[in-house]
Amino acid sequence: MRILVLSQYFWPENFRVNDLVAELVHRGHEVTVLTGEPNYPGGVIFPEFKADPNAYSRYEGADIVRVGLLPRGQGGLRLVLNYFSFVLSASICGPWRLRGRPFDAIFVFEPSPITVGIPAIVLKWTKRAPIAFWVLDLWPQSLEAVGAVRSKFVLSLVDRLVRFVYWQCDAILAQSKSFMEVIGRQIDDASRIVYFPSWAEEAPVGSAPLAPEVPERPDLFNIVFTGNVGEAQDFGSVLDAAHELRSEPVRWIIVGDGRKSAWLTEEVKHRRLSDQVIMPGRFGLDRMPSFFRHADALLVTLRDEPIFALTIPGKVQTYLAAGIPILAMLNGEGARVVADAGAGLSVPAGDSAGLVGAIRSMMAMNDDEKQAMGRRGLACLRRDFDRNTLIEQLEKLLTDLAFRISSPDH
Q: Each residue of 22-35: pLDDT tens digit?
A: 999 999 999 999 99
Cα–Cα dist 91/93, whole Å: 6
pLDDT at 408 over 60: no
12 preceded by a cis bond (ω within 30 of 0) = yes
Chain-centroid distance of CA 201 in Å reads: 11
Helix (H, G, I), strand (E, B) or coil at 258: coil
Q: pLDDT by residue (tens digit) across 326-338?
A: 999 999 999 999 9
Predicted pLDDT at 203: 60
Predicted pLDDT at 57: 97
pLDDT at 230 over 70: yes
> What mean pLDDT comes out for the span 101-122?
96
- Cα-Cα-Cα-Cα dihedral of 55, 56, 62, 68, to 10°? -140
Cα–Cα dist 385/201, whole Å: 11
pLDDT at 201 over 80: no
- Across the chain, mean pLDDT equals 93
Which backbone phi and psi does 238 adopt, to 5 degrees?
-60, -45
What is the length of the chain?
Answer: 410
Instruction: List C-alpha distances in Å: 335 to 140, 187, 384.
Output: 23, 28, 15
Predicted pLDDT at 224: 98
Instruction: List C-alpha distances in Å: 342 to 144, 214, 325, 378, 392.
Output: 32, 29, 9, 10, 27
Predicted pLDDT at 204: 65
Cα–Cα dist 211/95, whole Å: 43
Helix (H, G, I), strand (E, B) or coil at 329: strand
pLDDT at 141 over 70: yes
Cα–Cα dist 250/157, whole Å: 46
Predicted pLDDT at 255: 96
What percent of the chain is predicted at pLDDT more than 90? 81
> What mean pLDDT comes out for the span 95-108?
97
> What mean pLDDT comes out for the span 97-106?
96
Predicted pLDDT at 407: 57
